[in-house]
Amino acid sequence: MTGKTSIKIDYSRCGDEVGVDPRSCGKCLRACDPAIFLLHETLGAVEENPFDPQKWRITPLWPDLCFRCMKCVESCPERAVSVRWKPAGGN
Ligand code: SF4
Ligand code: SF4
């Protein structure tokens, strides 16, 4: 079966604005065996102040390695992670 895995983090649930620092949590990051998540500061992103050292993020960087075990989704206390399978030709 061909298709693509789509992994999203809802930053309205995980981020400085809502008092959740991904550096202190990082549960999704640790739960993922193929280590597809990256913890990084938002330098270069479209932010009010991209140089603010408090603005750290988790980004799903290598979704092609995901085998949809759902451990990241289950481990997130904020329900901020979603994993979806998109069949080829779907949207
Ligand atoms: S579903 Fe499993 S393999 Fe995929 S990103 Fe989450 S923890 Fe990693
Ligand atoms: S588990 Fe959830 S709250 Fe924790 S860092 Fe990952 S996305 Fe953020």
- What are the boundaries of each domain within the chain? 3-82
Please tell me the CATH code under which domain 3-82 is placed. Answer: 3.30.70.20
- What's the confidence (pLDDT) of residue 90? 53
Query: For 86, what's the count of Cα atoms within 13 Å in the CB-facing half-sphere?
Result: 12
CA distance 90 to 2: 11
The pTM for the full model equals 0.86
Residues 4-58: tens digit of each pLDDT: 999 999 999 998 778 898 999 999 999 999 999 999 887 655 666 655 656 788 9
The answer, yes or no, to whether any atom of ligand 2 lies below 6 A from the CB of 80, is yes
> What is the rounded distance in angstroms from the CA atom of residue 72 to the CA atom of residue 75?
5
Distance 52 CA to ligand 2 centre (A): 20
Instruction: Single out the residue of 51, 52, 45 nearest to residue 11, CA to CA.
Output: 45
Give the residue from 1, 2, 11, 3 showing the smallest Cα distance to 60.
11
Beta carbons of 60 and 69 less than 8 angstroms apart: no
Q: Is 65's pLDDT higher than 70?
A: yes
**Using CA positions, which residue lies closest to atom 5 of ligand 1?**
66
